[in-house]
Amino acid sequence: MIHKAPFFWINIAFILGITFSYTYSCDILLAYSAFLVSLCLSHFFQITYKKYFASFTLYLCCFLGGIIAFHHKSVIIDENDKYLVHTSSELKKKGSEYYIFGKIDQGFYTHNVILLFPNLIEIQEGDSIAIQGQLSKINKEEHLISFSYNDYFISQQAYHKIKVNQYTVLKHKKGVIENFRSKVDSLIFETFSTTSQGIAYSLLLGDKSHLSKKEKEVYQTSGSMHVLAISGMHVGILSVLIYYLLWWIKWFPKRYHKLQPIITCMFIVGYSLFVGGPPSIVRATMMMILGTVSILLKRKVLAVNIISIASFGLLLYDPSIFFSISYQLSFIAIFSISMFPYWKRISSLKWYLKIPIGLVSVGLVAQIGTLPLVLYYFHFFPVYGLISGLFNGLLTSILMYLGIVSLLLSQLNFYNEWCLWLFDTIYEWNLFLLIKISSWPQLPIIFIPKTITIVSLLFFNLSMYTFYYPKRITLYINTLMLLVFSTLIVVFLIKKDRLLMSVYHEKSTIISIQKWNSISTYIFSDNQKSIPVLLKRHHERFKNSQINFLSSAESCVLSIDNKRLRICIENDFIEKNSDDDVHAILILNKKSADVQILKVSSSIKNSNTTYSKVFPSVITNNTQLTQIDLGKILK
């Protein structure tokens, strides 16, 4: 199936180019030169009927095209510290500064930037600002535990920040879509009750900010958070509604029947612009348009090709969108669903079998396909996601239809109270069932590294492809992937079982000893009320956790795997702790997170005791903490 979808491989080559450019710095002139040479070679091999060489050079062109596209997207030309920026978010506080997301138009691409202001200013989303300030690149920090603004900015495809010195807010005239969205926003606020406003905003506008903290936790714990995100499901619900509302077109002559799907596509394009064009909605809209065109032209097109064309178009428009969670989850899910070969058999069943089997199949295939990404990004396995997805998807579809009808009836004052009562009742039932599911036993928080995520993603999808379309070559490749996947899992489990010590870069001297799913923390401080946020985030990763407060001048002896380890501040152990049998001594500096490790060769009671300085095996070292392999020290 995939070998008959050339756009799939073109898309893969383009993605590899984007990833390569994101990871490594490239000479753009060399990339342009290689691109032109590859393009000429591809054309030469094509006219000389050397198919395999032509295909290889074509994919090489796409790879180099991905490098060039991402380079232009991630590089902003310095315009003598003067820029015209269009704000795309609300002003928020960051420490002593204030920041806002903005967009700069340069060439073919629109660049996302972060504007940093020293003081609170009057500025709103959608304003245009003429600014003067210093442009700098945002460096990725990859913090393991706590929240990092740099990592957050990069995840929102903002690779540069501007420290604003002077600014002038220009007049901004709202467009037709912005005015219509603000009217719908106020209409939802006036129509729905306070208990259902959050879900109404989420389903109709894609705005989850109105949901309460409890509602978000219930949806997340039950594995139903994806239902609240504007996605292809919403496009499907809306397109079915519009399509059947246009049933009267069937009364016209047959040549006008094509207007029904065309008008439906036009409405969906308008809806995509209305909700801000997130990747999942754009993907679904592009796929719907391509599918409609193929039906109208009576051309049979593979679903994988349609998905790949939609993905390629999105990446060509904005290469950085590949690194967004929405893009990855959306395309992996729809790709997994499209690879399922039994849809014809399911569609031939009777309706009372087709509907439940189809819903279970879609949910199960999408969940298996996206499982590695869900574990990597959210550290949570939705154990009951399939169960909650069945009834929640159905009830959410009903809620969306009722929400649209309620807004229309509110303008007519016709049976609107009954419709709103039904909306509130169904939402209360849905929330009640989700609360019940979220109260069931859950798995602990799961953290997997990026390497295992990528390999398992390839392995799961390749396994499904091998199962659906058994061929010798796919079986061999899948066996190789299984060996790689198993090796990485074994290495991960071995590393997970290591005895680690974390030294936190905080004002107080704080260390943690961790092994598997347990962590014990020792805080050398006289203030027993203050626990850093960094430490709280770290403890959330473990099932068993313990915090011990010690005096800033106190030392302690830990028994770890039948070996004794003394932890003390500076050189206190020489005078005060000479009567203990220990295997190693950790000397911590009060003013910094530096740690000095001494290996004890015999008992301290013996006058011939010697100490040898050990250089610890550092596992992680960043601005938050330093992790040391303690198991090697205690050998």
Q: Which of 203, 199, 181 is nearest to 126 (CA)?
A: 181
Q: Are residues 629 and 537 in the same domain?
A: yes
- Specify the range with the lowest mean pLDDT, choosing from 105-119, 364-378, 542-556: 542-556
Q: Give me the count of residues in the chain.
A: 635
Q: Rounded mean pLDDT of 169-198?
A: 82
- Of 74, 109, 131, which residue sits at a domain end? 74
575 has a pLDDT exceeding 50: no
- Higher pLDDT among residues 458 and 289, named by residue: 289
Establish if 619 belongs to a structural domain.
Answer: yes
Q: Which of 586, 594, 615 is nearest to 513 (CA)?
A: 586
- Higher pLDDT among residues 392 and 1, named by residue: 392
As given in the structure block, the two tokens for residue 292 are 């409609």
Q: Rounded mean pLDDT of 466-485?
A: 69
The total number of structural domains in the chain stands at 5
Q: Rounded mean pLDDT of 130-154?
A: 76
Residue 601: helix, strand or coil by DSSP? coil
With residue 168 as reference, give the H or E element that holds it. Answer: strand 158-170
Q: Are residues 169 and 294 in the same domain?
A: no
Distance CA 474, CA 120 (A): 59
616 has a pLDDT exceeding 70: no
Which pLDDT score, from 0 to 100, does residue 605 have?
47
Distance CA 47, CA 216 (A): 58
Establish if 8 belongs to a structural domain.
Answer: yes
Cα 345 to Cα 185, 348, 386, 461, distances in angstroms: 43, 5, 22, 21
Which pLDDT score, from 0 to 100, does residue 315 have?
92
Q: Are residues 479 and 505 in the same domain?
A: no
Establish if 359 belongs to a structural domain.
Answer: no
Establish if 508 belongs to a structural domain.
Answer: yes
252 has a pLDDT exceeding 50: yes
Share of the chain above pLDDT 90, in %: 7
Q: Are residues 51 and 88 in the same domain?
A: no
**Residue 432 burial (CB count, 10 A):** 10
- Of 441, 469, 496, which residue sits at a domain end? 496
Q: Which of 264, 231, 232 is nearest to 247 (CA)?
A: 264
- Position 582 confidence tier, pLDDT thresholds 50, 70, 90: confident
**DSSP secondary structure, 369-389, as one string:** HHHHHHHHHH----TTHHHHH
* pTM of the shown model: 0.79
- DSSP H helical segments within 297-350, as ranges? 303-317, 325-339, 343-347
Residue 552: helix, strand or coil by DSSP? coil
Considering the chain, what is the average pLDDT of its residues? 80
Which pLDDT score, from 0 to 100, does residue 64 have?
92
Q: Rounded mean pLDDT of 257-283?
A: 87
Which pLDDT score, from 0 to 100, does residue 522 have?
83
- Higher pLDDT among residues 443 and 268, named by residue: 268
Q: Are residues 39 and 110 in the same domain?
A: no
- Specify the range with the lowest mean pLDDT, choosing from 128-137, 146-155, 222-231, 462-471: 462-471
504 has a pLDDT exceeding 70: yes
Q: Are residues 483 and 516 in the same domain?
A: no
Name the DSSP class of 611. E
Q: Are residues 515 and 558 in the same domain?
A: yes
Q: Are residues 505 and 612 in the same domain?
A: yes
- Higher pLDDT among residues 463 and 474, named by residue: 463
Q: Are residues 492 and 506 in the same domain?
A: no
Which pLDDT score, from 0 to 100, does residue 172 have?
64
- Supply the range of the domain harboring residue 88: 82-173
61 has a pLDDT exceeding 70: yes
CA dihedral 254, 259, 261, 265 (to 10 degrees): 170
Q: Are residues 18 and 43 in the same domain?
A: yes
Q: Which of 113, 115, 26 is nearest to 70 (CA)?
A: 26
466 has a pLDDT exceeding 50: yes
Which of 356-370, 420-434, 490-504 ranks highest by mean pLDDT? Answer: 420-434
Task: Compute the radius of gyration of the chain from its Cα atoms.
Answer: 29
- The pLDDT tens digits of the residues spanning 535-572 come to 777 777 777 788 888 776 666 777 776 777 777 766 55
Establish if 190 belongs to a structural domain.
Answer: no
Q: Rounded mean pLDDT of 454-473?
A: 72
Residue 537: helix, strand or coil by DSSP? helix
Establish if 372 belongs to a structural domain.
Answer: no
Distance CA 102, CA 558 (A): 52
Establish if 410 belongs to a structural domain.
Answer: no
Establish if 397 belongs to a structural domain.
Answer: no
Q: Residue with structure tokens 């394009």?
A: 269
- The pLDDT tens digits of the residues spanning 298-337 come to 887 788 888 899 999 999 988 988 988 888 888 888 888 8
Distance CA 164, CA 166 (A): 6
As given in the structure block, the two tokens for residue 213 are 């903290």
- CA torsion sign for 134, 137, 138, 139 is negative
- Of 138, 173, 208, which residue sits at a domain end? 173
Share of the chain above pLDDT 70, in %: 83
Which pLDDT score, from 0 to 100, does residue 374 have?
85
Task: Measure the CA angle with vertex 374, ends 234 and 448; round to 5°.
Answer: 170
Which CATH number do you get for residue 161? 2.40.50
Distance CA 362, CA 356 (A): 10
Q: Are residues 254 and 312 in the same domain?
A: yes
Which pLDDT score, from 0 to 100, does residue 68 have?
92
Q: Are residues 64 and 92 in the same domain?
A: no
